[in-house]
Structure 1
Amino acid sequence: MKQVIQIIAMAIACYGMIVAVLYFFQEKMLFFPMGQAFGNCRQMERYGAEAISSNGIRYYLKRTESAESWIIVFHGNAGNACDRTYFFDLLTGLKSHVVLCEYPGYGGDNRKPGEKIILEQALMLVKEIKSQKIKTGNDKHLPVFLLGESLGTGVATWVSSQTPVSGLILISTYTAIVDVAKHHYPWLPVQYLLRHRFEASAWASETTTPAILFHGIEDDIIPIKFARKQVKHFRSDAELFEIEQCGHNDIVDTGKMLLKKEINRFVSAAGG
């Protein structure tokens, strides 16, 4: 009996240690900033994108002659904006200025990444872009579209609930980070531990922005069930495209033709 009690006590102690590690080190488990320091990116230089820092906001900007819209990209939780030049290729053919947002704490930044600061800076960036007057034939402000990838889908959705934009393009989306965590760790009380929850389903119900969603059917990081739920939370028109034989990290490559076709259609229909 004594041995049984000791085993139970050890199991409880181990469980408690795991819970403590998850709570105190959750930033390191959610945010993975890696790669080049912001502004020191040869890939961006090859695409003619310039690195811009303004009031603590950092982004790469690739201008397009006679642009008819802006597309602002919020990337996933790993790497940094320098790794995302594939979005320039994906968006080729659209007459759009493309902005790749760099998150606080990423790209050699000494700030600590977190939900609050990432959302605040994303909103500041969008407002800064919206305030710039790019002269077109009718000399009006250009429509702004937000493109979110993985973690960035929640960022884009939240921003659209705070300031009007023309459309949301969401690749590998979720209902909430806490929901994804519960899927992967059903034996842990993650709903009580996570500080960075990214409640995208609530934000979707607060925005009137039309949305187009893409998700790999074989995604094992953010399973497609979350996209199927999330698309139903939008108050506005929202459409989900499910891509066969496609996971999480290969969606832009595997689904490139479908993505290009539907993004072009979506942006054109929304006035871009």
Structure 2
Amino acid sequence: MVQTQHANTDADTIHTAMDRAKSVLVGLLLAGAVIYAGIVGYMFLNQQSLLYQPDGELPDPASVGLADVDVLSLPMADGAVLTAWSAPAAIPDAPTVLFFHGQSGNLGDRADRLREILNSGYGLLAPSYRGFPGSEGEPSELALISDGVQLFDKLSGEGETVVLHGQSLGTGIAAAVAAERPDAELLVLEAPFTATVDVAAERYPFLPVTALMKDQFATRELIERITVPTLIFHGTEDQTIPLHHGQALAEMSDSAQLYVIPNGTHNDLWSYGLWDDVHQQLQKN
């Protein structure tokens, strides 16, 4: 009888320990689920501020070495007014570059690029996106693409030949405009993505970004039907948007040339002669 009582006591102890372990495990799983839900909720609610990162005040063009650039206020179809930097071509019949900047900062941060464009004799129209310094409204994929098409039509209506140049986030806009306006002279994609949602999925593989992300800028779904001659520039050391994005777009396109820039990162491709290659291509056209 004593042996039986000891056995029962041992069994009770084991069961109690197992119950406690189960309780701890369930508690950990519930805590993990709550934390994960919090992360998902945070990313969902803040996705626009993660994608669009305006910063600073829009400087006077002359203060960043662009004394020949005018500041325009351009009303869009929905009433939002955008600020854009503009300059006419210095060479007769030279095209105008419609320049779409990246996701952060403001136009002043791209002054060196814009100066190279102007020094080549081309015209310039560089909008500050909705919600970015100098412009009204809130940025979104549909709104930015609509604005881009309207700006293209403005230039085209004035008799300008248009080169579409997109930088990083701007590549999604430039490509979408090229898909809608095949009469563009050239499409330049500087450090492009296959889609913003693809970049997000690579950065956050533990999150259901495809289901969560509103502005996906799926250039991969447009590139096959873009007939505008296209130049794709991508650096081998780009840690923001890896090289395989540019390579994938080039493989999908029948009209694209890929320039792989050894040691190039996300923001220094112009220092490796990007604009020289664009200029040479335009001279051939």
Offset at residue 249 of structure 1 (A): 2.2
Q: How does 1:36-115 map to 2 (within 5 A)?
A: 36-37=57-58, 40-43=60-63, 46-55=66-75, 56-67=81-92, 68-115=94-141
Structure 2 spans left out of the alignment, 5+ residues: 1-21, 76-80
Among 242, 258, 262, the alignment partner of 1:240 is 258
Tell whether the 8 Å contact from 2:83 to 2:134 is kept in structure 1 after alignment. no
Give the Cα–Cα distance (whole angstroms) in 2 for the partners of residues 54 and 112 of structure 1. Answer: 15
Give the Cα–Cα distance (whole angstroms) in 2 for the partners of residues 147 and 165 of structure 1. Answer: 11
TM-score when scaled to structure 1? 0.89
Structure with the bigger RCO (C-alpha within 8 Å, sep 6+) is 1
Compare CA radii of gyration and give the structure with the larger one: 2
Give the Cα–Cα distance (whole angstroms) in 2 for the partners of residues 89 and 96 of structure 1. Answer: 10
Instruction: Please give the per-residue CA displacement for 1:73-125, whole angstroms capped at 9, x wherever unaligned.
Output: 00000011222111223325533101212111101434211111111111111
Q: How does 1:135-174 map to 2 (within 5 A)?
A: 141-163=159-181, 164-174=183-193
Identity value in percent: 24
TM-score when scaled to structure 2? 0.85
User: Is 1:195 aligned to residue 214 of structure 2?
Assistant: yes
SS at 1:196 equivalent: coil
Instruction: Please give the per-residue CA displacement for 1:18-40, whole angstroms capped at 9, x wherever unaligned.
Output: 10111111001110001214x74
Give the Cα–Cα distance (whole angstroms) in 1 for the partners of residues 69 and 118 of structure 2. Answer: 14
Structure 1 spans left out of the alignment, 5+ residues: 133-140
Give the Cα–Cα distance (whole angstroms) in 1 for the partners of residues 162 and 135 of structure 2. Answer: 27
Query: What is the letter of the counterpart of residue 240 of structure 2?
Result: I
Query: What is the letter of the counterpart of residue 98 of structure 2?
Result: I
Query: What is the letter of the counterpart of residue 260 of structure 1?
Result: W
In structure 1, the partner of 2:37 is 16
Q: Classify 1:110/1:89 alpha carbon distance in 2 versus 1 (closer, same or farther; 3 Å).
A: closer
Higher helix share: 2
